[in-house]
Structure 1
Amino acid sequence: MFQDSELDLVASLLEQAQRILFITGAGISADSGLPTYRGIGGLYHDRLTAEGLTIEEALSGEMMALRPDISWKYIAEIEANCRGARPNAAHRLIAAFEQEKAMVCVLTQNVDGLHADAGSHNLIEMHGTVHRLRCNDCTHARQVADYAGLQLPPECPRCGGVMRPDIVLFGEQLPVRAIERLEHMLQAGVDLVVSIGTTSVFPYIAGPVVWAARDGVPTVEINPGDTEVSRIVRHRLRMTASEAMHELWYRIHPHEPAED
């Protein structure tokens, strides 16, 4: 009963809001069958790589510079485990809200590209995307659907340098342009902040929620477990991303079927 009343309240907020920031993490893509690389059941839970490294060491900017073959080995392994995943209802319904509202922005930690595949256009991919490669030595970049058939590490066709996924590796700085876009969007103002499927351990992910709560902007968290922002959000839905978005969409659009 309590969850139903919370769903009703959050649905009302979503219906009334015209400027919404969705913040998403690995939990939203878990409903598409994507594994995590850490955590219980993750690809690298409680084990070292074949080289005796932690996955953070293998996937660091330093390792990509010194031994790109090692970094690429595990990037490709993660990509292979995620290959073929499609956007789920949560991705698609967020994109659907973008068509109805004055402004919907998605700030995501995920590098899987599923928000873009679902049709979200106002997208801040803070950690980049595995579907774009860029050269370490020149400005050449290219889009790829997946890594099938790639020679690893890939060679830049323009200069012969090593190409890498356009993602933020451990120890690297966040992209300045992405940070500036987030800052400009928050300065313009939002009516609602919704955090979905992220533990919010990074300051730049928790920050917009903290800012909104401080300034009286309604905040919502969709996550089955407790996170760094659970104690400060106004509304909590202890549900998976797809389940919650289905329920919320139905309450706002009772005569329109939610995405399956």
Structure 2
Amino acid sequence: MYEKLKKIIDESDNIVFFGGAGVSTESGIPDFRSATGLYSHTPEYLVSRTYFDKNKEGFFEFYKKHLVYPGVKPNDAHKVLAHLEKNGKLKAVITQNIDGLHQMAGSENVLELHGSIHRNHCMDCGTFYTLDEIMARKGVPHCTKCNGVIKPDVTLYEEIPDMDSYDRAMHYISAADVLIIGGTSLVVQPAASLVDLYRGDKLILINKDSTRYDTRADLVISDKIGKVLKAIK
């Protein structure tokens, strides 16, 4: 299977990668849903717009503990994808992750479907704040200019995703010769539905667990995405 994957990559210069939480877990970032049982609400509710509006103190407590991991570094998956882009083979990285590790590894054309922890803006005056500035503030972060609440530019449950990123993702996937999907179970909507736009005959799924798209894929590798990509570099 590795040989087939390497052959497909070697012969293509129009590859698109679509990834999820499994790409980041190899860097030591657990899925925030693993906090199930530690709180009186579900993890999904704790990162919803309803909870943010109702209890900002509780939201930021959960957010800083379970969605932000300062000091993490890109893993082999991030590095190999950046290498493929540099060599002109990979046209775009489409990610559901918010950690910015793809950019840290050197990828440039990264479409962040759910935003980024590294971008934060005052909800009142729009002033930009870095992640470090947010983490340095205790409790709810407030703007130094107008005292408004600073909100991370991440898509919470119940919020409308960044449609510009989705439009660009639709373009790249529909035009791709090769679509590599890694580290995602393809259950989070509307992101998962983007796969339906692929019209090529080289759909590759690399994930530790099975997905509902396995039967449609041309190649399925049940393993860690970083391990697989490093092996075929």
Distance 1:114 1:75, change over 3 A: same
Tell me, yes or no, if structure 1 residue 211 matches structure 2 residue 197: yes
Larger mean Cα displacement after TM superposition, 108-117 or 147-156: 147-156
Query: Partner of 1:111: helix, strand, or coil?
Result: coil
TM-score for the superposition, normalised by structure 1:
0.83
Deviations 1:78-137 (A, max 9, x none): 145x22210001101100000111552011011111111111110011111112111222
What is the CA distance between 1:147 and its match in structure 2? 4.7
Aligned with 1:183 (options 170, 173, 176): 170
Match of 1:198 in 2: 184
Relative to 1, partners in 2 of residues 1:197 and 1:103: Cα closer, same or farther, differing over 3 Å?
Answer: closer
Match of 2:44, SS? helix
Counterpart for residue 171 of structure 1:
158
1:221 CA drift (Å): 0.6
Is 1:113 matched with 2:100?
yes
Specify the alignment match of 1:223 in structure 2. Answer: 207
Residue of 50, 58, 74 corresponding to 2:62? 74
Contact 2:117–2:154 at 8 Å: present in 1 too?
yes
Matched residues, number = 233
Identical-pair percentage: 27
In structure 2, distance between residues paired with 1:26 and 1:227? 14
Q: Which of these residues, 41, 52, 58, is aligned with residue 64 of structure 1?
A: 52
Q: Is residue 190–residue 217 contact of structure 1 (8 Å, CA) maintained in 2?
A: no
Letter in structure 2 aligned against 1:247: A
Q: Deviations over 1:189-209 (max 9, x none)?
A: 111000000000134433343
CA distance in 2, matches of 1:209, 1:56: 23
Q: Which runs of 5+ in 1 are unaligned?
A: 1-5, 250-260
Residues 44-68 of structure 1, C-alpha deviations (whole Å, 9 max, x = no match): 13x152xx32222221112212321
Query: Within 1, Cα distance between the matches of 2:102 and 2:228?
Result: 17
Q: 1:77 to 1:203 in 2, by over 3 A?
A: closer
| 1:131–1:146 contact (8 Å) kept in structure 2 | no
Distance 1:27 1:176 in 2: 24
CA distance in 1, matches of 2:134, 2:185: 28
1:222 maps to a residue whose letter is I
Aligned residues: CA RMSD: 1.8
Q: Which residue of 15, 18, 33 corresponds with 1:20?
A: 15
8 Å Cα contact 2:207/2:223 also seen in 1: yes
TM-score after normalising by structure 2: 0.93
